[in-house]
Structure formats: C-alpha cells, structure tokens
C-alpha cells in the first residue's frame, strides 16, 4: 500500500472484527509519504498478528511478493488499504476452500462504494462479477475478463508458489496469476455473496497505469491462448469483425499466430478481407476445423448466443472454441 492514510482505519477495523480471527496480517508500506507507516506500526504494537514491512516505492508486484515471502499460513488472502471486508469474509472463504481441496483460488462478490462515484461501466462490471457462477462457468469466462476481483483473492499458498507467485509481464498482475493457475490445472471458485466493499475512485491503478489498458488485457489473453488452446491448432477463426475481433486479430498476428478467417452475420462485411483474412458467413465459419474458434464480441447476450451456436455444431468450449471480450 502507498499513501493510504485516508481510508486505512476503515480497512483495519474490518479486519479486527472478523468472525474468524485466526490469521496474520502482512502489511507492506510501499514508500508512503503520508502517515500510512505510522498507522500500521501503531496497529502492530496493539495486535500481535500484524507485521509491517516497509520498502522504497517499487509498485504493487514487489509489495505482493514481499508479503508472500513472509507469509506463514497455508492460505493467502488479498486486500487493499482502502477496501472494507465484511465480518465473515475470512471465515467464509476459508470454509469454502477447506470444503473443496481442488480449488486453488476463490473470490467473493463485491460492491463498489461510495455509490455516487460508481460509473455505469463499473456497475456493469460489478454485476458480471456477482453473477452466481460455479467453477466450470468461471473457467469458461476466464478469457472474457478476470472473473474474480483481486482484493477478494483467497489462495492456497503452495499453489501460488508452484506457479512462481506474482509477475509483472506488462499487464494486470492479478489476471496473469489467475491465468497461470488455470493453465497449471488449478480450479477457481467464488463464494456467492458480497464479502468485500471495493472503493471506487480516480486514484485506482486501473485508471492510470498502462498495464491495465484494454490493449494490455488483449495482449495478456493472446499470450495465454497461444500457450494453451491455440497450441497444435492451424490458427484462429474470429467470430466478429467489430472492434473486439479486430483487436484480437492484431494481437494474434503480432504474436505470430495465424488468423484464418473472420465470421460475421452483417451482410455488408461478408466477402471483405480484414487484416488479410476473409470475412465468411456463419456456414463457412462452421466448416473450418482444426483451428480455435474465438467468439470475440462485446455484448454478453451475443456471447451466449454464439456459445449455443458453436456447441450445437459439436464444438467444445475451452477446447475448440473460447469466448473473449
């Protein structure tokens, strides 16, 4: 955390009132210039569970790795200095993970606050994050967006160690970790209730850091598609020649993958060439096999329709096709 004095008291209070008190707190001060370190050290003096680590301003990934290296528990939980946990968060997530040893990471529902600062896009994202999805549904959404909010991560420490902890590859560190866990065969889950209040505001890294830009997210998805679902395939067929599909095509081509075709329902686009690939109608797209079909559309309703269409023609999700956004 860095310069978190304005809201740190609320975050601390939410941890002090947890119904499951059996945890340690690794609080990393990442070069704060305000009273953050003093607040943390005062907390540590009155609570033996708290250990404070200070480092020169280095960013979120070094701070996360500093905490991970010092942690002693078999689970790791994430939280930011300006967020607020519901009292049962630790108890619910620990019980959820204990009940299913196949899970390596779970999250919870979230609610952005203060509501007056929450824009329409964030409200739509919040609603998507809070859909009651099980493990299989979460995994099918993993190339749409990270389906678990980072401040709600509750992880098996051993599984995180196996994949090498947090990295800084030039895109979002939480999404990168979730994709590496999935790639390694780990399963994801979510407690279906809102157990964290996620503070909204212009200071969030997602507002200013290029690692969280739309272009960076597409590069991240393409990187892991090439390492997983695209391996051994002749190339990609992209369903949708709109902005999302074109962005994926550019990233795929830049990374060295082949784009075999686009598939469209808009008759004005059929027969054109986009980034060197023909735009086909639906029947022509379905005739292409030995490739990965990428449903690249932005609207959730259209994604569902494409899923149904591809499944109805014998294509298997997360094997023969994937949905992205």
Q: At what angle do helices 214-227 and 243-255 cross, to 10 degrees?
A: 60
Residue 205: the pLDDT is: 62
Please compute, for residue 242, the number of CA atoms within 13 A of its CA located in the half-sphere on the CB side: 12
> pLDDT by residue (tens digit) across 124-137?
999 999 998 899 99
Residue with tokens 């550019």: 250
Residue with tokens 């020169």: 56
> pLDDT by residue (tens digit) across 260-301?
999 999 999 999 999 999 999 999 999 999 999 999 987 778
Say if 159 falls within a structural domain.
yes
Torsion angle of the four alpha carbons 197, 76, 27, 220, in this order, in degrees rounded to the nearest 10: -70
Residues 281, 187, single domain; the answer is no
User: At 312, which CATH number?
Assistant: 3.40.50.720
* pLDDT band (50, 70, 90) for residue 206: low
Mean pLDDT, to the nearest integer, of 203-210?
70
Residue 315: DSSP 8-state: P
Mean pLDDT, to the nearest integer, of 188-217?
87
Mean pLDDT, to the nearest integer, of 42-71?
97
Q: Which of 179, 212, 245 is the last residue of a domain?
A: 212
Q: Which of 182, 212, 242 is the last residue of a domain?
A: 212
> pLDDT by residue (tens digit) across 245-262?
999 999 999 999 999 999
DSSP string, 62-75: HHHHHHHHH--SSE
* pLDDT band (50, 70, 90) for residue 1: confident
User: At 89, which CATH number?
Assistant: 3.90.550.10
Residues 80, 183, single domain; the answer is yes
Please provide the average confidence, as pLDDT, over all residues in the chain. Answer: 95
Q: For the whole prediction, is pTM greater than 0.75?
A: yes
Q: Which of 153, 181, 212 is the last residue of a domain?
A: 212
Say if 249 falls within a structural domain.
yes
* pLDDT band (50, 70, 90) for residue 202: low
Q: Report the number of distinct structural domains present in the chain.
A: 2
Say if 43 falls within a structural domain.
no
Which has more pLDDT, 298 or 47?
Answer: 47
Residues 66, 187, single domain; the answer is yes
Mean pLDDT, to the nearest integer, of 144-160?
97
Residues 244, 115, single domain; the answer is no
> Can you give the three-state secondary structure of 117-151, one letter per residue?
HCCHHHHHHHHHHCCCCCHHHHHHCCCCCCCCCHH
Burial class (CB in 10 A: 0-12, 13-18, 19+), 270: middle
Closest CA to 318 of 184, 228, 189, 257: 228
- Please give the Cα distance from 218 to 221 (Å, whole number): 5
Closest CA to 90 of 72, 105, 76: 76
Residue 207: the pLDDT is: 62
Say if 182 falls within a structural domain.
yes
Decide if 156 contacts 50 (C-beta within 8 A): no
232: left (phi over 0), alpha (psi -120 to 50) or beta: left
Residues 203, 234, single domain; the answer is no
Decide if 304 contacts 295 (C-beta within 8 A): no
Domain residues for 107?
Answer: 62-212
Residues 231, 204, single domain; the answer is no
Buried b (16+ CB within 10 A) or exposed e, 187-205: bbbbbeebbbbbbbeeeee
- pLDDT of 203 > 90? The answer is no
């Amino acid at each position: 955390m860095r310069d978190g004095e304005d809201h740190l008291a609320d975050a601390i209070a939410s941890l002090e009132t947890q119904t499951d008190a059996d945890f340690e707190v690794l609080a990393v001060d990442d070069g704060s210039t305000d009273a953050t370190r003093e607040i943390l050290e005062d907390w540590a003096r009155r609570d033996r569970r708290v250990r404070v680590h200070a480092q020169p301003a280095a960013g979120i990934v070094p701070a996360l790795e500093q905490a991970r290296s010092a942690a002693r528990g078999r689970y790791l939980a994430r939280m930011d200095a300006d967020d607020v946990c519901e009292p049962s968060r630790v108890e619910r997530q620990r019980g959820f993970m204990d009940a299913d040893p196949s899970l390596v990471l779970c999250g919870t529902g979230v609610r952005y606050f203060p509501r007056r600062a929450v824009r329409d896009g964030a409200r739509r994202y919040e609603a998507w994050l809070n859909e009651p999805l099980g493990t299989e549904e979460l995994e099918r959404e993993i190339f749409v967006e990270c389906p678990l909010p980072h401040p709600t991560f509750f992880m098996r420490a051993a599984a995180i160690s196996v994949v090498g902890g947090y990295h800084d590859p030039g895109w979002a560190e939480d999404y990168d970790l979730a994709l590496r866990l999935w790639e390694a065969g780990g399963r994801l889950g979510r407690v279906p209730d809102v157990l964290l209040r996620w503070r909204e505001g212009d200071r969030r890294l997602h507002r200013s850091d290029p690692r969280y830009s739309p272009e960076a997210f597409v590069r991240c998805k393409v990187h892991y598609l090439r390492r997983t679902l695209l391996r051994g395939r002749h190339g990609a067929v992209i369903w949708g020649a709109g902005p999302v599909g074109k962005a994926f095509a550019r990233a795929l081509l830049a990374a060295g993958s082949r784009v075999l075709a686009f598939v469209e329902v808009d008759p004005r686009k059929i027969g054109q060439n986009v980034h060197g690939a023909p735009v086909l109608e639906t029947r022509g797209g379905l005739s292409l096999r030995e490739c990965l079909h990428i449903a690249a559309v932005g609207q959730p309703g259209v994604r569902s329709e494409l899923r149904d269409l591809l499944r109805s023609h014998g294509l298997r999700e997360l094997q023969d096709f994937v949905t992205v956004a």
